[in-house]
Structures are given as C-alpha cells and as structure tokens.
Structure 1
C-alpha cells in the first residue's frame, strides 16, 4: 500500500518508551487544531456542538469545552461524562431517537432543558415527564427530509429512519408537532448525512436543510411555534483509520454565510441561533492506535501478521456500516528502522479466536517481526468505544493523552474496565432500574 512504510510523526519517539501497548494515543494539540479549523469554516456567531459519541475521553472533552463547543449527548453515560468534564447542564443538547422515561427524568433532574425529539410521542413524553418534574423543557424537532443528500457517507435522511419526523408528515399535521405547556418546541434539528468530503457537497446539504427548514417553520408558525434555534447538523468529513488530512473547508464560510443571509436575513436582530454539530472532524485526526506485532508467518503461500489489536479494539462496529481495510504502519524505534520498500503482502489479523478478526487481506508492509510496533492513524473518533470491546474477553487498550505543543510529555494513561454488577429486577411501572 503506498505510504504504508513511510515514517510519520504519529507518536513522538520520546514518549514511546512510556506507553504500554496496545494503546490509543490522543494528541490534544490536534484536538485544538480540529476545533480551530472548523470554527474558521463556520459563519461568524454560529454555535458548535461536540458529539460525545465520537470520543468521550475526559481530557478530550475538557479540551473541547475549553475551545467553546457545547456537548451533544445521547445517553445517561454521555451526560455524566459531559458534566464531569465541566460543562453545565444548561449547555447540553440531549439527542437520540428513543428515550426511556427514567433517562429523561434523570437529565431533567440534573438541569438539562434542551432535547431533540423525533415524533409527536417523543414531544408528549418530554412534556409529561417535565410536568411530573415541575419544570419546562425545550425541544428541537428533528426532521427527516423527503430526499437523501448526494455525496454523504451514511444516509441520515430521505430514507426510512428512526431519526426525525418526515417533512411531509410535519407539513400535513403541524398541530401534532407544536409542543405543549411543558415541552416548548423552540427549534428544528436537521442532520442530513455524515462524512461529506468536499465543500460543494456540504454547501448543497445545508442549502437543502435551510429550504426545508423554511417550509417547516412556516407550517409550525400557524400553531404558535417560533423557531429560535436551527441546528443544521454537520457531516464534516475526515479520514478514518487511514492516511490523510481533514477535509479542506476553505471557502465554506462565505458560502454558508450567503445561504444564511438569504434564508434568515433577520437572524441577528430576532435572536435566531444557528448551530452545527461535529465529532469526527474535531477529533478524528487526534488519535492513533499503537499496537505490537505478536506473530509473523506464512500460510498457504500468504504472509500473515497477527497483532495485539483486532476488531475488538478498532473497526468492529458493524453498525457504522464501515468495515474498512485497515493497514497499520510500522513505527520506527531506536532498534527498528523502516525499510525502503514493502516486503510483505500480508493478511493482517488480530488475536481473537475467530476468522472474522481481520483488518486487511493484502496489506503491503515492511518485513515485520514479532515485537515491532505498528500504528493506525486517524482513529481519534469512533475508535475504542465503537469497537467490540467485550468480545472474547481480551483487555481493552490503554488510552494515553499527549500534547504535541508540549513535546515529550505524557499527560495521562488510563484503561477502561468492564465490570459486572447486580441489577434489581424491573418494577411493574416499567421504569428501567439501570438508569440513575
């Protein structure tokens, strides 16, 4: 594979002796660069949510908070992580296509007041639980537009989906989406697609979102709803587990500003807030998986490389519809230099006792030997916690945090552990005992 044997500053050589393997290594300097790059591409005054599903490591969250992003969460675990990182509950946007009463009640009790809702039932549920809790909640009505947007990595709209209410449904029955005394509909949530890889595709997505938002806003206005928040989602592309840079967003800001000026010319005067969301673009480039070679052999005429890490550590989340070919890169160390040309065309596998544990079937690699270190870049998003961490009981990788602006420093090394705890039986009312 071209580039697979080139040296690259994935992990500073000075910190390698201080890291266990396997380990995810997150660089806070790259987190800062990701935030700065996206901020520079968004219109002046636009809000930005960080999607915790991408990476909820405490120091990554802290850095994101300090860069001015707000947290977008979709579970009690993510909510707890956001609050522990220092965000006030008032900054949280709680999303997700299905929520249990106990989850909503817990979030309200902690002070969360803004929720994304996907149906009349979800609006009614939020209003009922908020009334029981003696508070008033606000909600963004998520819209599933009538057509998908071309160029997206994963369809989020225009197809049958658990996400959002179809545009046609809202326009036909707007009264069902107008909210109530304890669940005020204050905005719209339009997330068209993910991993759009050029400015043209992103501009087209946001243009379509604004067109749809105008129609829905007009329909809801007849039932007393004033849209004060417009969440246009994200979809900002970035490479996953392969060589490459973040998508170049040069030119996006003026295009987005022009779109907003046409669709919402009075947004500054009337206080309408426009917000965006991102996970992978902000932190994807900040992570690398460092893992060791356990065995190298020949089998039926093929080179086979067995690593410490497999689909339990990276790439095992079939729910992302993404099982890419993952080609690790040899990491130079004092006793191991990189050969000029690849010498192996190898099947790359992990240590799991299943033939499904395969990263690549024909990866071009240098002449590896047991004990060598290899690395997979661009896994700061959808890495460890998007993998099959419990499958076959291997230990989870460590997670180490460095700061490229402070060479040689390892700020933190921790490891997640899975534990089994007793859970009481569900009560007759059906509220889930596992929710705090």
Structure 2
C-alpha cells in the first residue's frame, strides 16, 4: 500500500483515533474493478462497507464509469442520496425490511429491491401498491451448491438470506402473482473475499450457470441479474489489493454461453463490491496510551479499540491486525498484544503481533482500514467519542468530520 504516509500533523490537528481516507485511491479501485469486468456489466457499491457520503460520492463522480448504490437501511438510503445517487441508482437489500422503511425508499424513487422470501416480496409489493407504483424485485438465491472456498460463505446452508434454490420452481406461481411487484430477475451473493482469482471465476461461472437454469425452470425472462461479488482486498494487514487480469474474459465467455442477449441488456448484468472499492483507501491512526507487562505477556494499550475498529472481531473475522512500519525506521522487534481502552477483555485488535518498541504518545497506523471501520464497530459501547474521519485528495485535506451520538427523547424530558 502506498500513498499519504505522514500523519503526525493530522493527528495533532484532529486528534486520535483518526481515520484517513484517500479519495484518489478509491477512484483508482473503482477504475481497476470496472476494468476487470466486461464493459456491459454494472457495478453496485455496497454502502455497508463505508457509508461516509463523500466516500460514496467518489463512486460516482470524476472520470470513468459510475457505480450504483446497494443499501440495506434508510440510514444508508440517506447517505446514498446525500452522495448524489438518485432512487433509480439504488438497489435495496436485506432480510428485515419493514413497511416504514420500504415506504420511505419507494417515496425516494427506489424501484429495485432484492427479496429474501415470499413474504418479503409480498411486503415490497404491498407498500408499492399503496403508493401506486410497481417495484422490480430480484429473487435472492441461496444456492444449494458452491464452487470455491472463502473466508465468509453466504450460501449452501440454512440462512435468513435468500430463497433456497431447490424450492424456487414450486413457488413460481406465488412469486408471479404478487400485486405491486414484478420478478425482474435474480440476485446472488455466494461469497465474500475470494481467496484468489481462480476461485472468484469459478464461483461466478457456477452462479451464471445456476441463474440460467433457474430462469428456465421458472419460465421467466430475467431483465436484471446481479451475480454478486467476492472481490478480495487485504483488511487491516499489510498488502496490496489484487488487480484481476483474467476475470473480464472469463465472465464474458460464461455469460455468452448462458445468456446470449446479455451484451444488449437482456438481461442487464451487475456485480457488487464494498471492501475492494474502499478497503485500501483508509488507514486508522491511533496513539499509544500505556504499556504493560502481565505474566510474561506484553501489552500496548492504544486509544482505539473495537469501539473504533473491528466490531466484527468477536466473530473471529478480524484478528490479528498489523501495523505500518514506523516512519523513523524502527523495526518490529517485539511481540505484544495491541489492545484498546475499553473495560472488556475482548478489546483486542491484535494478539501477540510484531510491533516496534513503542512509548506513550507514539502513533500506530493500521493499514487497509477503509472498509468496515467506524460504522461496523461497537461505537456506542462505554460512550467514548467516535473517531474523526478525514478525507484527502492529492495529499490535501478536503474534509474532516465526526459522527455524534445524540439521544432523541420521544417521551419524557432530558435530565437537566
């Protein structure tokens, strides 16, 4: 990972913990991923990875092809609209859409929804009918089989996500008879963070084959096909985001075989990504607060913990992080656990990792931290302030902001 490296002045100005997002790197990732896909394939940015409106705006502004937005809440809807996306640009997903959320999205012009069950489809249709519109719905498919291995598999097991593929044909008449909603196509998301390009290609090929089979079994001409993602990127460790060289040709061959009209938009084809597009744009800067030795184990205590980065760490998806080498060239000459300031033994960013000899006040930089940071963390635990988020472009600060937690009283009065 290369780019902006001198964070001392930013830390002095904005304090720590501090996220720094490089807009230029986001635009480069967007360009790289569009370049790896066939020209006709659309791309959704999953706002769950980083819903900062200016980060999301970088997915659609500037030169080159623009992303669309994939959201799963009205909060993400607000962020997408603030970033300049229109309702027509948005795909609304998720297994727990409430009537109020659907009404708000439809009123904002959202017309494309991924549905996870027959009742989810009915809920979308009911709210659309109330507003006198028709929603296009993609049947999310939980495939009974898969092709590649991955760190996070999203199909092939009982799940709240998607229709079980083996049961879809018998539901055909029920799905096509929902007022206010039309079945426009299918949505797949079988994996996250594929281990290599060959695995990614194999999974996409399997998805396209299954989609064609389901289209035939359902007797529906798909107008839209979202084949998901799985694009890899290093997460909180050193390393570079891959650039896929064989994917474009492989996807073209698979689509030509199963969906011969796809180049003319029959169906329109899309992929989606979050981590790949924003992961390597961000770095988390924190300060060393204290050092401690306990029964032969060394601890570096920082002002950033799982409230700042890594609310998913308790699920075993994050540990251990790594740190960027110190600017003064200090080597990683000790093994210690990097922990945060919270009153819980689970506040660990990295257990027994290689670190330089550090002192209180030193800065520690966690690389590739642009995805699943602030809003994927335990930000309200213990009431600590959220980290600042600074965006840079061309080495210059273009904005700085901080999320605030405000209690909105609906009954009673605030304590005076």
Gaps of 5+ in 1: 1-6, 426-436
* 2:400 alignment counterpart: 413
- Structure 2 vs 1, CA of residues 371 and 15 (structure 1 numbering), >3 Å: closer, same or farther? closer
Residue aligned with 1:241, SS: coil
Deviation digits for residues 85-141 of structure 1, max 9, x if unmatched?
111111110000121111111111111111111111111111111111111111111
| CA distance in structure 2 between the partners assigned to 1:118 and 1:13 by the alignment | 44
1:130 corresponds, among 125, 128, 136, to: 128
Residue 159 (structure 1) aligned with residue 182 (structure 2)? no
Residue 195 of structure 1 aligns to a residue in which SS? strand
Hey, what does 2:329 align to over in structure 1?
338
C-alpha distance in 2, partners of 1:342/1:115?
48
SS at match of 2:48: coil
The equivalent residue for 1:59 is 54
Does residue 278 (structure 1) correspond to residue 273 (structure 2)? The answer is yes
* Matched residue, 2:242: 247
Look up the match of 2:292: 297
Deviates more, 1:308-317 or 1:416-425: 416-425
Structure 2: how far apart are the matches of 1:168 and 1:101?
Answer: 28
1:355 CA drift (Å):
1.6
Counterpart of 1:429 in structure 2 is none
Partners in 2 of 1:15 and 1:32 — Cα distance? 25
Per-residue deviation at 1:18? Answer: 3.8
User: Residue in 2 aligned with 1:432?
Assistant: none
SS at match of 2:251: helix
Distance 1:179 1:279 in 2: 34
Q: Identify if the C-alpha distance between structure 1 residues 215 and 302 changes in structure 2 by more than 3 Å, giving closer, same or farther.
A: same
Moved over 6 A (4+): none
Q: 1:97 to 1:36 in 2, by over 3 A?
A: same
Once structures 1 and 2 are overlaid, which stretch shifts more, 29-38 or 148-157? 148-157
- Match runs of 1:178-217 below 5 Å: 178-217=176-215
Contact preservation (8 Å) 2:290, 2:359: yes
Structure 1 residues 350, 226: closer, same or farther in 2, change over 3 A?
A: same
| Aligned partners of 1:149 and 1:158 also within 8 Å | no
Tell whether the 8 Å contact from 1:10 to 1:288 is kept in structure 2 after alignment.
Answer: no
Counterpart pick for 2:351 among 356, 361, 365: 361
Hey, what's the Cα distance between the residues in 1 that align with 2:315 and 2:338? Answer: 21
Question: Normalising to structure 2: TM-score of the pair?
Answer: 0.93
The match for 2:322 is: 327
Deviation at 1:318, TM superposition (A): 4.9
Q: Which moved more, 1:54-63 or 1:319-328?
A: 319-328
Aligned length: 408
- SS of match in other structure, 1:284: helix
| CA RMSD after TM alignment | 1.9
User: Structure 1 CA distance, aligned partners of 2:391 and 2:234?
Assistant: 20
* Cα distance, 1:318–1:301 mapped onto 2, change above 3 Å: closer
Instruction: Name structure 2 gaps, 5 residues minimum.
Output: none
- Choose between structure 1 and 2 for higher RCO, CA contacts under 8 A separated by at least 6 residues: 1
How many angstroms apart in 2 are the aligned matches of 1:282 and 1:116?
Answer: 21
Matched, 1:397 2:387: yes
The within-5 A match list for 1:31-50 is 31-50=26-45
> What displacement does 1:227 show?
0.8
Equivalent position of 1:315 in the other structure: 310
Q: Deviations over 1:18-54 (max 9, x none)?
A: 4421101000011011101100110111100000000
* Alpha-carbon spacing, 1:58–1:331, altered in 2? closer, same or farther (3 Å): farther
CA distance 1:423–1:331, shift in 2 (3 Å): farther
State the alpha-carbon separation in 2 of the partners of residues 366 and 268 from structure 1. 53
**Structure-1 separation of matches of 2:271 and 2:119:** 25
2: distance between equivalents of 1:216 and 1:78? Answer: 31
Q: Does the C-alpha gap of structure 1 residues 14 and 327 become closer, same or farther in structure 2, counting only changes over 3 Å? A: closer
Shift of 1:8: 6.5
Deviation of the 1:327 alpha carbon: 2.9
Give the TM-score normalised by structure 1: 0.89
Change (3 A) 1:320 1:29: farther
User: Could you say which residue in structure 1 is the equivalent of 2:5?
Assistant: 11
SS of corresponding position for 1:212? helix
Partners of 2:322 and 2:290 in 1: how far apart? 16
Q: Match of 1:433?
A: none
Q: Retained in 1: the 8 A contact 2:291–2:299?
A: yes
